[in-house]
Amino acid sequence: MVPALARLALPQLQVAEALAALGPVPRAALADLLDATGAESARGLDAALGSLSDRALVWPDGEGLLHMAAPLRQAWKRPLGLDAPLAVLLADTASEELRRMLMALGVPSPGTTKKQRLTALLTHHSDAERVAAVLASAPATTRKLLQQQVRHRPEQPRSASEFVILGGSGTDAAAGERWALDRGLLVRSRYGYGPARMPAEVALVLRGPDWHAPFAPAPPTVRTVSVTSAEVDREAAASATAFAAHAASVLAVCSESPPAVLKSGGVGARELSRIGKAARCEDLVVRLVLETAYAAGLLARDGNQVVATSGYDAWAEREPAERLIVLLTAWRRLPLTPSQTRDADGKALPALAGTPPCRACVQAREGLLTGAAGLPAGQGAKNPVELGALVGWHRPLADELAQDTTPFATAIHEAELLGVIARGALSPFGAALRTEGIGGDVDAEALAAACARLLPTATRAARFGADLTAVVTGTPTAPLAALLDTVADREAGGTASVWRFGPGTVRRALDAGRTADAIEADLAAVAVGALPQPLSYLIHDTARRHGRMRVTAAPCVIHGEDPALLAEVAAHRKFAALGLRLLAPTVLVSRTPLDKTIATLRAEGYAPVAESADGTVRVDTARRRRAVAPVPPPRESGGTARHRTTGAPVVPAPATVDVGALAARLRAAPTNPPEPDPGSGVPFGTDTEEIVAGYARSLSLTDVRQLAHCIDEGRAVTIEYLAASGSRTVRTLSELDLDPPYLHAWCHLRDDERIFALSRIHGVMPV
């Protein structure tokens, strides 16, 4: 039922809520409540009823009454702010009490059974004119009490005692409430506890004949401008091409230097900034690429890093159109908003934080595509921000993010970055993503055709300038990007990428083992025209100075004043394992650490000495070995005993321990059974305990049992929770609903319903 509700448009939801408030009624009564008597609103009502009927949520019976599915009625606690109908409130009322109500109303009892009396009372209260007449004859105290209750929040009905606080006397309040209870204008529980409740029929009469339930059969008006399909295609192609190029750059950076994951999970702001700086794109684009690539299987978690997969290697070799298809499909199915940077509490969110699935985020994306598709042909929104109103009409249950300054601003901005929305209209990419095939999937053929038509093929050549730059229009092929990244630094990306050469970048390629001639030949092979002379001079000039000074790694160096002695040592067969190499007549380099080299030389009769870092001879002294004391020495405080003559502290002799007696006591002590472990196979007390223990790995067995007990018994509980941002909070939860691996609950700290990951719960305490 929840997925069906989420896909309802605003008029369908309003019709369903009105029907839930009235119960089975004819269409005329529903139209009167919604004020759908005009031609346009009547067509809107029929369209909404038809859509609900197609989903098997609403249907008419043989008598012309509209019925709705029971689970749909339970979606609202108080539909239209009304309490339950009179039939529900009087279901447990005794037959004699119903007879007294009929007598007070002046209605003759039609029979002696409860069903007959209840039917007569319902018939009377279903007539608004009769109820209005009864209210007109009510005492002033009763009318005042009823008017105050109908204006009050129905979730908390007011009692007569509250009426006293509002200005009435205790006797008047009780008498006024009693008068209404005797006539069924208010209903109290059969056992007399709780506040009196007002039936929906009475509340509607008190609201007056001019009150109508909200009904918006037509979508909100959006200011539009004329746009041609060519203009939409051109802008969509530019945005999609830029995003595909940015995605290639971001994933290339992640492939070379995988981003680290925070201890609390996700890629933090520092890593996002590093990737964005290296890929030359903003933080929001980096988040969008990481989330879509992770969902598409191009990235995966490996230990404390996010590493490129083998699927990325195949993806990088494809054409830009094929790359974009993968990312757009992943974005359409994402159960979250990838560019969300703040949570509901305003705290920064890392990327790839593993947030719980958000069905409302998917509906916001679907509402945007549906709303943009409903614009007149050849028209686009004058300001794309106004598309947010259409999202709210097509998917009223979609959530707006706390960071949105205008309705659904984040979702709209994402769609524009991807080229799904262009010039305020739905692009061919968006039309293909909105079209759903079997199983709710996107139209892959239409998406592939749109990408192939609008995106250019990968560029295999670059234009080299005399200012030591290389410019590639469009998306470069993977070999071209790899070549330029090796010998130059990328300065810009998007629809055109720019690389800049310098002595440092050329030296980087030479350090990788390439030669000057090979670099020049590779660049000439991908150049449009001949290479500029300044670039050739730079390559060969850097190569001429490259390697004039060499640095070798040496664990130790042997040097002396006798060249013959060092030559003898270098030629000695027993020193071959040391890895000696003669750098100069008086200098030897050894691949073996200093201490082992000296020991080997001394073992063969030589007498070397060790030298310190400043060139002086190192004197080796024997070091005394000392054990670490298991306990600190006794403190010399005022109460410490001291020797009467020397004044030294006196350490008492250790007490004598009977080891045999101690062993006997340990053997006789009862052994406690081991605590169940989720992976040990030991059974738990309940299924809930086993489920909680399987996900909440940070909890002890006692905490697992306490949390499972609160879930099963519906009790409140206090938890210590590690948020996605890394902060620890203590929260009191109630209305617990286990949905592994998540826990849905009412958070008293935020006064709102929240979703908590069981793996992030680190402690459980009683309320």
547-566 per-position pLDDT tens digit: 776 766 788 899 988 889 98
For residue 748 the two structure tokens come to 């008293």
Task: For Cα atoms 15, 332, 421, give the angle at the middle one, nearest 5 degrees.
Answer: 85
Evaluate whether 761 touches 721 at the Cβ level (below 8 Å): yes
Whole-number Cα distances in Å, 319 to 297, 448, 518: 18, 12, 27
For residue 683 the two structure tokens come to 């059974």
Overall residue count recorded for the chain in this entry = 767
Evaluate whether 739 touches 711 at the Cβ level (below 8 Å): no
Distance of alpha carbon 478 from alpha carbon 470, whole angstroms: 16
For the chain, give the mean pLDDT.
Answer: 83
pLDDT (tens digit per residue) in 358-367: 878 888 999 9
Q: Does the pLDDT at position 125 exceed 80?
A: yes
Evaluate whether 348 touches 326 at the Cβ level (below 8 Å): no
SS3 440: helix
Question: Can you tell me the mean pLDDT for 25-37?
Answer: 88
pLDDT (tens digit per residue) in 437-448: 333 567 889 999
Evaluate whether 281 touches 246 at the Cβ level (below 8 Å): yes
SS3 422: strand
**Residue 408, class by beta-carbon neighbours within 10 Å (0-12 exposed, 13-18 middle, 19+ buried)?**
buried
Closest of 413, 442, 500 to residue 239, by C-alpha: 413
pTM for this predicted structure: 0.68
SS3 339: coil
Q: How confident is the model at residue 156 (pLDDT cuts 50, 70, 90)?
A: very low
Distance of alpha carbon 411 from alpha carbon 402, whole angstroms: 12
pLDDT (tens digit per residue) in 290-327: 999 999 999 999 888 999 999 998 998 888 899 999 99
For residue 414 the two structure tokens come to 């994402």
- What pLDDT, on a 0 to 100 scale, did the predictor assign at position 172? 62
pLDDT (tens digit per residue) in 636-676: 434 444 444 444 444 444 445 566 776 676 666 554 444 45
- What pLDDT, on a 0 to 100 scale, did the predictor assign at position 659? 64
pLDDT (tens digit per residue) in 216-271: 999 999 999 999 999 999 999 999 999 998 998 899 899 989 999 998 888 999 99
Amino acid at 5: L
Q: Which of 304-318, 331-345, 427-441 is predicted least confidently?
A: 427-441
- Asked if residue 741 has a cis previous peptide bond (ω within 30° of 0), the answer is yes
For residue 473 the two structure tokens come to 């229009």
- What pLDDT, on a 0 to 100 scale, did the predictor assign at position 657? 55
Q: How confident is the model at residue 171 (pLDDT cuts 50, 70, 90)?
A: low
The listed range with the strongest mean pLDDT (539-543, 675-679, 721-725) is 539-543
CA dihedral 180, 181, 185, 191 (to 10 degrees): 150
Q: How confident is the model at residue 631 (pLDDT cuts 50, 70, 90)?
A: very low
pLDDT (tens digit per residue) in 565-623: 989 999 898 888 888 988 888 888 898 998 898 889 888 888 787 888 777 877 665 55
- What pLDDT, on a 0 to 100 scale, did the predictor assign at position 620? 63
- What pLDDT, on a 0 to 100 scale, did the predictor assign at position 163? 41
Task: For Cα atoms 521, 524, 527, give the angle at the middle one, nearest 5 degrees.
Answer: 155
Question: Can you tell me the mean pLDDT for 159-176?
Answer: 53
Evaluate whether 428 touches 450 at the Cβ level (below 8 Å): yes
- What pLDDT, on a 0 to 100 scale, did the predictor assign at position 668? 64
Q: Does the pLDDT at position 513 exceed 50?
A: yes
For residue 319 the two structure tokens come to 């054409």
For residue 745 the two structure tokens come to 């609950």
For residue 14 the two structure tokens come to 């309003």
Sequence-ordered list of residues with C-beta below 8 angstroms from that of 527, at least 6 positions apart, any chain: 461, 462, 463, 464
- What pLDDT, on a 0 to 100 scale, did the predictor assign at position 300? 92
Instruction: Name the percent of the chain lying above pLDDT 90.
Output: 32
Alpha helix stretches (DSSP H) within 550-647? 563-571, 594-603
Q: How confident is the model at residue 378 (pLDDT cuts 50, 70, 90)?
A: very high
Distance of alpha carbon 468 from alpha carbon 535, whole angstroms: 6
Evaluate whether 288 touches 338 at the Cβ level (below 8 Å): yes
SS3 620: coil
Q: How confident is the model at residue 457 (pLDDT cuts 50, 70, 90)?
A: confident
Q: Which of 6-15, 17-26, 52-61, 186-195 is predicted least confidently?
A: 186-195
Radius of gyration for the alpha carbons in the chain, expressed in angstroms and rounded: 40
Evaluate whether 579 touches 592 at the Cβ level (below 8 Å): yes
- What pLDDT, on a 0 to 100 scale, did the predictor assign at position 191? 66
Higher pLDDT, 496 or 667: 496
Report the phi/psi class of residue 64: left, alpha or beta, with left for phi > 0 and alpha for psi in -120 to 50: left
SS3 208: coil
Q: What is the DSSP string of 674-723?
A: PPP-TTT-PPPSSHHHHHHHHH-TTS-HHHHHHHHHHHHHT--EEEEEE-
